[in-house]
Amino acid sequence: MYINREISWLEFNQRVLDQAYRRELPLLERVKFLAITASNLDEFFQVRVGGLMLLQQSGKGHTDLTGLSAGEQLELVRLRAARMVADEYMLMNNELMPLLQQANLAPLGIDELSETQYSALEDHFLSNVAPLLTPLAMEVERPPVLPSLSIVLGLELQGSTGGECRFVAVVLPESLPRRVHAATLGKDGYVLLEELVAEFIGHLFPGEQIVHSSPLRVTRNGDIAVAEAEGGNFAREMEAVLVARKFSDCVRLELPSATSAEFAQRIAALVGADEFSTYRVPGPLRLVDFGQLASEPGHEQLKVESWLPAYPADVDPGMSMFENIAEGDILIHNPFESYEPVIRFVEEAAQDPDVLAIKQVLYRTAKNSRFIAALCRAAEAGKQVTVLVELKARFDESHNLDQAERLQRAGVQVVYGVKGFKTHAKITLVVRRENGTLRRYCHFGTGNYNEDTARLYSDLSLLTCNEHLGADASQFFNSVTGLTRLMRFRRLYPSPSAMKERLLELIAAEEQRARRGERAEIRAKMNSLNDPEMMAALERASAAGVQIQLNIRGICCWVPGTVEGQANTRIVSIVDRYLEHARIFSFGNGGSPLVYIASADWMRRNLDRRVELMVPIEDRRLAARVQAVLDACFRDNLQACLIRPDGTSVPVPRDERMPAFAMQEHLQTQARQNARDRERAGRLTLEPHRPR
């Protein structure tokens, strides 16, 4: 039984919003989840709604797995999204804003200001805001295109002697903070930038009267692909895509509910929005900005208690990473365990005179990436450094272009991915000279090389010098940089050449065991499931009696279509303080489970149209640790939701006789305990290792 992908994603975002509705959570944690919901919805409109609109305009008549046309999907999406937006503002207006007011964290209205405060803000506007504003006349033959996702103030102006009105748009600069503070407003007092500009914008139009004003926000189609022509300059083509996004069609127009109907119609006509794409909201635009309240220092009593990552028990900080890895494979589960050893691995490789070569795939990196800095140092030191930078990482293209240029200036050999495919694999290979021979050290992960998101996303890393995995890593890089075919490997399973085939084999093997009356089991954790072949294989396996447990954070387009399959299958989704991002697959294999981690979800795009990697966890101790993560997924009775046949979800029913259990809290506690146990055992040296 299939569920529409877009509706499934919106139901995932509802689970995020449901966290903001939890009154037992601290206020700023609830505000954070509301902001995440709004941010997710922004990207959904840019990519998914934008893509559906293009598909509808093409007139190709394509339908999804559930038989819905693009137009039918758009209708469902708009109805569901409108309900979600209404829920967001109901929560903000009825619960969160009053609580923010009690904590003196709500924005002040202009009418609440004293004369002294009002004068101070007017001075601030004239000195620090007005010089940055650029009014754009919209009543021209070719009006300027308003930028996507920015807050814009729309103005209707009339001369002092009357006559026709004209429409002007003022884009609020992203360089200005949304919350405008002034000393006279008190420690935490602020007004919203759009309120400040609307109040004093008359200074920019002497001799004219402001008839109407309203903030507005346009969302433009971000689903624009790069044309990978033969012999073309890929970086230049990507720059063209970034320009095209600025001028793409409007997929959503947001306006305050108080905006008059006539004024709203005029704005909609100017930006190219129809009635179905216009959303009237009863509160401030761009709710995502309120999430900054949760990330700024202060007001700790309104936040959840911070969890500091434990240093991985398997890593001795007094030894080099090469010495650590040589002692045995290392598994790191961030952010419960520190991601620092992964960064150290690359930084030490850049500095180590015995390291001859470093190869790495970069998809999304931090703004001030330590990985980029280390790779530059390595190249400048004369090492052979090759980096595959994926320019098609959506909404990170500009950043990746900048990083690629920086790497090239340092002497790094930069490759821009594989034609026709996104390279999404998470892999680093370091070649080191030891005792007259060359030894390969590898890192494989489920998450990006990004030290910022490593504190927010739950991911797994494998550090190893296994000979077979090292040989496969070399073959992988030779394939993607030399544009040769991804052949069969000894241990690794890449997509698009081998991963899906292997997964289907493993599912079929469990199905055959079930048909023979043997115990058969599939357990998996991923972000999304929508690949038709994978879903069909799961359908057959569940009907045959395979016990299937899936933890799918986001899109889930499958639930069993038979009574037998539903009895054998349990699908849960967990939303908690960290974003669940690790991909883990386990197959019973007759009592000797086969365990894998991967960069790929079970989505058609990952398995058929991306370069990904699935890595076996062969060390029994580490495989048991990975299995324990799955155990925790399916024990969670506080943060987990059950996915229902219609795609909606409900909290996992909790038997009051069973103790409360939250997976992330358990993993955090376990990581701390493991670190303490090893420290007590005296196996950690006190002084950190200092590279030569």
Residues annotated as catalytic (active site), given as ranges: 424
**Using the 8-state DSSP alphabet, how is residue 648 labeled?**
-
The alpha helices in 59-205, defined as continuous H runs, are 70-91, 97-102, 115-124, 193-200
Q: Could you give the maximum distance between any two Cα atoms of the chain, in Å? A: 90
For residues 234 and 417, give the distance between their C-alpha atoms in angstroms, rounded to a whole number. 10
Q: Using CA atoms, how far apart are residues 512 and 313, in angstroms rounded to an integer?
A: 39
- Residue 487, class by beta-carbon neighbours within 10 Å (0-12 exposed, 13-18 middle, 19+ buried)? exposed
- Helix ranges (H only) for 68-226 are 70-91, 97-102, 115-124, 193-200
Q: Extract the tokens encoding 455.
A: 């504190």
162: Cβ contacts below 8 Å, ≥ 6 apart: none
Distance CA 385, CA 379 (A): 6
Please count the other Cβ atoms lying within 10 Å of the Cβ belonging to residue 36: 21
Residue owning tokens 């150290």: 344
- Is residue 604 within 8 Å of residue 452, measured between CB atoms? no
The span from the CA of 568 to the CA of 544, in Å, is 9
Identify whether the C-beta of residue 619 lies closer than 8 Å to the C-beta of residue 430. Answer: no
Distance CA 315, CA 194 (A): 51
List of residues 6+ apart from 489 with CB closer than 8 A: 472, 475, 476, 498
E strands present in 471-593: 493-495, 521-526, 547-552, 569-574, 579-580, 583-587
Tokens standing for 673?
């305990």
Q: Which residues pair with 651 in a beta bridge?
A: 641
Residue 202's closest CA among 236, 247, 153?
A: 153
Give CA–CA dist 450/648, Å, rounded.
Answer: 32
Which residue type occupies 106? Answer: A
